Amino acid sequence: MNTRLVVGVTGGIGSGKSAVTDRFAAAGVAVVDADRAARLVVEPGTPGLAAIAQHFGPGILNEAGWLDRAALRRLVFENPAERAWLEQLTHPLIGEQIARELAAATSPYCILSSPLLLETGQKDVADVIVVVDVPEEVQVARTMARDDNDAELVRKIMAAQMPRAERLDGADIVIDNSGTLEDLDERVAELHAEFLARAELAREG
Ligand code: ADP
């Protein structure tokens, strides 16, 4: 059981999740990344990968024995039953991996960074939910600049994610990242002070 304050950070593609969590990490806060946990639980040699290979066949692995993520995405994309099967396997494994990493963290509070925080049971792990928010056109422009993608692809990815209004509804705290990176430095510093104070209170309580 993790007793340390856990701050969940989420946001749509290109909203600035990494920019935010990089800043907390630079302040010495442990950052657990749900995407990284999701990759770890299907690495070669894991029970997760063995179950996937048994279910979908060895063709789902590349020559080196790693999961072919693109092939898996194609398989489950238009097949809700297969997607459900995959999620009932991976979500608990990812949850356990996240719990292990949070338990190993030694900073006064920790961050759980996840694009799917609000869509999954991961939100239950977080004591505070922070949503990084920018207008949709800023999301498109920044993602295009970062990934060298066209606007159409970025909009498709956004359409598959939780709508902005719904995500904002799930927030305890919103980080408006429509300003400069210097503005973001300031906002993160302010929140870091607040979370340290909360963590201190929780420790005393
Ligand atoms: P996410 O992790 O949510 O997909 P990133 O943190 O990678 O988003 O941010 C998307 C892109 O926008 C990155 O290239 C990042 O450097 C840039 N970026 C983030 N915040 C700002 C900002 N306030 N001003 C300018 N560029 C930003």
Ligand 1, atom 4, residue with closest C-alpha: 14
**54 band by pLDDT with thresholds 50, 70 and 90:** very high
* Main-chain dihedrals φ then ψ at residue 200, nearest 5 degrees: -65, -45
Ligand 1, atom 17, residue with closest C-alpha: 142
From 77, 87, 97, select the one nearest 35 (Cα to Cα): 97
Residue 9, pLDDT above cutoff 80: yes
Residue 13 · residue 158 · CB < 8 Å: yes
**Domains in the chain with CATH codes:** 1-29+109-205 (3.40.50.300), 35-106 (3.40.50.300)
> Could you tell which of 36, 142, 176, 182 is best to mutate to test the pocket of ligand 1, judged by most ligand atoms within 8 Å of the CB?
142
Residue 83, pLDDT above cutoff 90: yes
Q: Which atom of ligand 1 is nearest to the CA of 21?
A: 6
Is 146 close to ligand 1, i.e. is its CB under 6 Å away? Answer: yes
Q: Which atom of ligand 1 is nearest to the CA of 13?
A: 4
**46 band by pLDDT with thresholds 50, 70 and 90:** very high
Is 11 close to ligand 1, i.e. is its CB under 6 Å away? Answer: yes
Mean pLDDT estimate for the chain = 95
Going from the Cα of 15 to the center of ligand 1, the distance in angstroms, rounded, reads 6
**1 band by pLDDT with thresholds 50, 70 and 90:** very low
Ligand 1, atom 20, residue with closest C-alpha: 16
pLDDT at 26: 98
Record the tokens describing residue 92, joined without a space: 């608990």
pLDDT at 205: 72
Going from the Cα of 38 to the center of ligand 1, the distance in angstroms, rounded, reads 22
The SS3 assignment for 154 reads helix
> For a pLDDT cut of 70, what percent of the chain falls above it?
99
Q: Give the pLDDT confidence of 143-194 residue by residue, as tens digits.
A: 999 999 899 999 999 998 999 999 999 999 999 999 999 999 999 999 999 9
pLDDT at 203: 81
- Which residue do the tokens 């489950």 mark? 76
Going from the Cα of 56 to the center of ligand 1, the distance in angstroms, rounded, reads 36
**109 band by pLDDT with thresholds 50, 70 and 90:** very high
- What whole-number distance in Å separates Cα of residue 153 and Cα of residue 69? 18
Is 139 close to ligand 1, i.e. is its CB under 6 Å away? Answer: no
